[in-house]
Chains A and B, each alone.
Chain A
Amino acid sequence: MASSDWLDVRGWMDSIIGWSLNQTRNLMPSSDIPLGPLGSINLQEGFSSIQSGLHTFIFTSVMCTIVFATMMITLIVVPYIERKFIGRLMDRFGNTMSARSLWVGEGGVTAGEWWSTLPLGLGAPIGALNRALNKNFGNDHHTKSVTRVGDRGYHGIWFMLPGFVAAVADFVKFNTKAHIVPEKADRLVFEVAPVIIISTTVMVYAFVPFGPHIWAANPDLSLIFMMAIFGVAPLGVFFAGWASNNKYTLIGGMRSAAQLTAYEIPLLVTVLGIAVLSGSFNIIEIVDFQIQSSNTWNVFLLPLGAVLFIVTMIAEVERIPFDMPEAEAELVEGWWTEYGGIRWGLMFAVEMMRAYAACILFALFFLGGWELPFQDTLVSLPILGGIFSLLANVTPGIGILLIKAYLMFALFVWVRASLHRIRTDQILEFGWRYLLPLSLVNLAMAMVMRVALWNGSWPIWLAPLMTIGSILVFVVLAIDEDKEALENSNRIYHTQTLDKAYPGRRD
């Protein structure tokens, strides 16, 4: 029995399309139409023979469109979170916020009195409006503009709105730009590489459910299909870097290939741990397992797997602690330096889409998908249970899932603001020497749990033991560090070193 909510998009679309096709068939003449020497034709019977195939085709197309539209609309929030959250973290403000402070003049000085140049006195109302705004809301001292920018509470609730429109404006700008191919680039590969990257990333969303009834395709092996498609985009990255015929793009592509090879394997082994624990390769069944069978989110059973998944996913989507392939301080703009216009814009959107997919997948695999936190416990509370039960029934699954995904993306942004880039060799060493063995340990833990401890439900002590034990191990490892190495600043991934690198150094 699969989980369900009232937002039954698939059921609605199914019945609407079935009804439309039935009406179409009924509109056709039911009697045989004579065609002279060719015999006769019955339109209704002919339509009936293709109706089920037509129904499947239209239904699948409509569901693909709905899922894609859902993804694109909800994706708008992701760059918004990135800008705003990192702006708050780093004490910077976006362009919309800064521009709002300049909408009226400063100290009686307006924007150049340009309206008085209009003929026939047409500009008089504009001038009057501007003076009125200036009088009531303008500044009498120039530092007040600075204060307005700095005052976070100034915009009230409306500060949220304009950020969304900036994304639309950006894409209008990308669409109007010229397409430039470098003279010595490999034209064919240069044009094909963005197609590989963009198409495979969009295909990932064919297998990602947004809710119990909002998904495009749900094969038995959707997890493997999704991870397989997810791993194709790095090839396009390499081709883009190679075809641009530029040393920076080539170095970026090289780093990308090395890094993604190193992190693909721990990622797949970690995901395999989830599949073993949940007993299924189907994403929706993994979610249903957490909601119905196990009654525990996987994050409480496999905290190590959750951490590994986050780390490897950040590396896979090339976000900041691991974004050496596009390190803009040293490689201009990495592997996409030579791309411009809509190709660059789409590849940037794809970067966001991949990060967004990573967040949704984390919510699905580890955070119970479309279930409220501790839903069963809350619903069974004596007095408040009714309220939580109502809340769980009223909120559609997609709402809960997207809130979890956005919170995960906020975590990604937090990591980005807190850490700096890791050196390429350190990235590779970290991936091969630490993440790979840890992911194997994680897989072994999942196997032991599934084989030895699972008989229709988990033992009551398992989830607390795993969670608290993992936290304790983490705390002990964090406290018990090598004091001497810390003083000498030569811990393995320490970013300070006494032994500085310089040009021409050999060792």
Chain B
Amino acid sequence: MVSPEEVTFLLFAAIAIGGALGCVYARRVAHSLLSLMMTFLAVAGVFILAEAEMLAAVQILVYLGSVMLVVQFGVMLTRKQIQEGDIE
């Protein structure tokens, strides 16, 4: 018998791994970023399952809220080199 916690953990783990794979294999940078966001959210969910609420909140606050924003800056500033001719 699988407990609900295990099911939830497997779900979060699958999302995290899928997001990480998507981050590596996505063709466009924005898709990579979206996948990375998914991974961070799923990891935050795993932290909540492990009863580490503070860590989950800080995970969302720091990684999703701040680090991703800085990475976005990088994407914004290097867009022309990465996706030539995509925007007219």
CA distance A224 to B62 in the complex (A): 11
Asked if B69 and A261 make an inter-chain contact with CB atoms under 8 angstroms apart, the answer reads yes
- Say yes or no: is A460 at the interface (Cβ < 8 Å to chain B): no
CB distance from A355 to the nearest CB of B (A): 19
**Interface assignment of B2: CB less than 8 Å from any CB of chain A:** no
Interface assignment of A135: CB less than 8 Å from any CB of chain B:
no
A264 with B66: CB separation less than 8 A: yes
Cβ distance B64 to chain A, nearest Cβ, rounded Å: 5
Q: Is the CB of A257 within 8 A of B69?
A: yes
Of the candidate stretches A156-164, A243-251, A462-470, the one touching chain B is A243-251
A235 at the interface (CB under 8 A from B): yes
- Does the CB pair B31–A188 fall under 8 Å? yes
Known contacts A189-B31, A221-B57; A228 and B64 CB within 8 A of each other: yes
Are B57's CB and A228's CB within 8 A? yes
Please list the 3 inter-chain residue pairs (A to B) with the smallest Cβ-Cβ separation, ordered nearest first.
A231-B65, A228-B61, A228-B60
B87 touches A221 (CB 8 A): no
Q: Given the known inter-chain contacts A238-B72, A250-B87, please indicate yes or no for A232 contacting B65, CB distance below 8 A.
A: yes
Chain A, interface SS category: helix
- The residue of chain A having its C-beta at the shortest distance from the C-beta of B53 within the complex is A221
Residue ranges of B at the interface with A (Cβ–Cβ < 8 Å)? 28, 30-31, 33-34, 37, 53-54, 57-58, 60-61, 64-66, 68-70, 72-73, 75-76, 79, 86-88
How near does chain B come to A92, taking the closest CB pair, in angstroms? 37
Residues of A within 8 A of B (CB): 184, 186, 188-189, 192, 196, 219-221, 224-225, 227-229, 231-232, 234-235, 238-239, 242-243, 245-247, 250, 253-254, 257-258, 260-261, 264, 268
Contact yes or no, B28 A234, CB < 8 A = no
Report how far A238 CA is from B76 CA in the complex, Å. 9
When distances are taken between beta carbons in the complex, the residues of chain B under 8 Å from A228 are 57-58, 60-61, 64-65
B46 to chain A minimum Cβ distance, whole angstroms, is: 16
Q: Are A264 and B58 in contact (CB under 8 A)?
A: no
What are some 14 contacts across the A-B interface (CB < 8 A)? A186-B30, A188-B31, A228-B58, A231-B60, A231-B61, A232-B60, A234-B69, A242-B75, A242-B76, A250-B76, A250-B87, A257-B72, A258-B73, A264-B65
Specify which of B58, B61, B64 is in contact with A235 (CB 8 Å cutoff).
B64
Task: Give chain B residues whose Cβ lies under 8 Å from the Cβ of A221.
Answer: 53-54, 57
Count: A-B pairs, CB below 8 Å: 81
Asked whether, in the complex, the Cβ of A242 is within 8 Å of the Cβ of B30, the reply is yes
Please, which residues of chain A bring their CB within 8 A of the CB of B53?
Answer: 219-221, 225
Contact partners of B33 in chain A: CB under 8 A: 239
Do the beta carbons of A260 and B69 come within 8 Å of each other?
yes
Q: Which residues of B contact A243 (CB under 8 A)?
A: 30
Find A224's partner among B31, B54, B68 (CB 8 Å cutoff).
Answer: B54
Contact of B70 among A231, A239, A261 (CB under 8 A): A261
Question: Which A residues touch B30, using CB under 8 A?
Answer: 186, 189, 239, 242-243
| Chain B residue with the shortest CB-CB distance to A268 | B61
Docked-complex contact A235 and B37, CB < 8 angstroms: yes
Name the CB-closest residue of B to A224: B57
* Given contact pairs A231-B64, A243-B30, a sample of 12 additional A-B residue pairs in the complex whose CB atoms are under 8 Å apart: A186-B28, A186-B30, A189-B34, A196-B37, A225-B53, A227-B61, A228-B64, A235-B69, A238-B72, A257-B72, A257-B73, A264-B66
B72 touches A224 (CB 8 A): no
CA distance A362 to B72 in the complex (A): 30
* Chain A residues with CB below 8 A from B69, complex form: 234-235, 238, 257, 260-261, 264
Known interface pairs A189-B34, A235-B69. Does A229 touch B76 (Cβ–Cβ under 8 Å)?
no
In the assembled complex, the Cα of A260 lies from the Cα of B79 at a distance in Å of: 20
Contacts of B58 in A (CB 8 A): 224, 228
Chain B residues within 8 Å of A257, by CB = 69, 72-73, 76
Chain B residues lying within 8 Å of A242, measured Cβ to Cβ, are 30, 75-76, 79
